[in-house]
Structures are given as C-alpha cells and as structure tokens.
Amino acid sequence: MNLQRMLQFQRLKDLVNQVLSGLKEPNMMHVEDKGTHNRLDEILGTLKEILWIECRIHDLLNKPNRMFIEWHHQNHHHHHNHYEMGELKVMASNDVQLNLTAPFGTNEGVPVELNADGSNFSFDLANIAWAIQDNTIASFVQNADGSADFTPLLAGSTGVAVSDRVTGLSAQGTLTVVGVVTTGPVSMNINWQNPTH
C-alpha cells in the first residue's frame, strides 16, 4: 500500500471515530436543542467526507496503473495434409524474439492492464490500439479480443507498442527477429535407378 492510500485510510479511521464519539454524547438525545442541531449538521458533513474518501479509495483500487505486453506462441504441427495447433505457451513480457526458420506458428501479443492492487483490469477491447515501428521486420493483424498476431518478415529488431485510449496507459517492447527464411525447397537428392530396355 503506498503512502497516499495509507494516509487516506488513517483519515477515514479518524473520521469514523469522531462520528462514533459524537453519537455517544448525552445531548444528542435532545434534538430540540439548537446546539444539537448544529452537532447533527457537523456529523452529516463528516459522513459526506467519509463517503468521498471511500469513493476515492475505490477509484484508486480499481483504476489501472500498469500495462505490459504478454507474448504467446503456438506451434503449427504438420500432419499429412493438414495442420494442428500445438500447446499455447507464454514466451515473454514486453520484449520477444521471433524466429524466421520453420516450423512456424502463431506469435500473439496480448495487452495486460493491472489495477493498483495488482488485479487484472478488464479493458474495453475497442480502446486498444497496436503499432509497430518497422513493418519490414514484422507485420501484425489486430484481433477482435484486443490481442495481435505478429508475423516475422526479416531478421532485425523493431519497437512494438500497445495503448489504451481511455485509461491512457501504454506498453512498449522490442521485437527481435532471428533465423533465415526457409520457404521453398531446402535440399535436393538424386535417386538412381536401373535403366530399363
């Protein structure tokens, strides 16, 4: 808990004790007394202040203050004439290395926003935007769930960023592509056969 929240909780505790002690005063039973009415007004003002502090604490606990990129990878396994998806694995946070060399798979960046208490914040998918610094190194397609699929194109490094337009948070990472392109034939053999007459 940071210092600001500690002070707010202490102030809330002091105000509650103040209200409780005021309610225990004997003259609180005589509402017709002018002084009692003034005291009730003071307590009402104190209760309003408590409510404001509680709302402020709620906002602090439920407003995201951190954002990062979580990278997932899922292998494509080739079986005869079709592909099957392998296990989805978490590769890294923010910075990631992708490989140009087969076997290929799905490289997915997932935005994660955290509240002040460390819990996950459920962001609005429509507010998420991705960007890449050098689209010759890798390309991406943003998905409906706020994630983005990245395809390595050329060995090198580029910056990647994701932002939330409403919360104002953003996260940046370095995407590094290694390996060589292996499209097309990778080997050649000669099959010798006996001549037929």
pLDDT at res. 86: 45
What are 94's two structure tokens? 């923010």
Residue 59: how many other CB atoms lie within 10 Å: 10
DSSP 129-144: EEEES-TTTEEEEE-T
Q: Per-residue pLDDT tens for 59-109? A: 666 678 899 999 998 875 544 444 344 455 666 688 999 988 876 778 999
Sign of the four-CA dihedral 50, 53, 59, 62: negative
Highest mean pLDDT among 15-24, 37-46, 64-73: 64-73
The residues that bridge with 132 in the sheet, in sequence order, are: 160
3-state secondary structure of 98: strand
Q: In angstroms, rounded to a whole number, what is the distance separating the alpha carbons of residues 171 and 146?
A: 14
User: Which one has a higher pLDDT value, 22 or 79?
Assistant: 22
pLDDT at res. 90: 65
Entry pTM: 0.59
What are 171's two structure tokens? 């996260």
- Contact partners, residue 171, CB within 8 Å, separation at least 6: 67, 68, 69, 94, 111, 161, 162, 163
Using an 8 Å Cβ cutoff, are 71 and 109 in contact?
Answer: yes
pLDDT at res. 151: 93
Sign of the four-CA dihedral 134, 138, 141, 147: negative
Q: In angstroms, rounded to a whole number, what is the distance separating the alpha carbons of residues 36 and 29?
A: 8
Looking at the predicted structure, is the pLDDT value of residue 113 above 90? yes
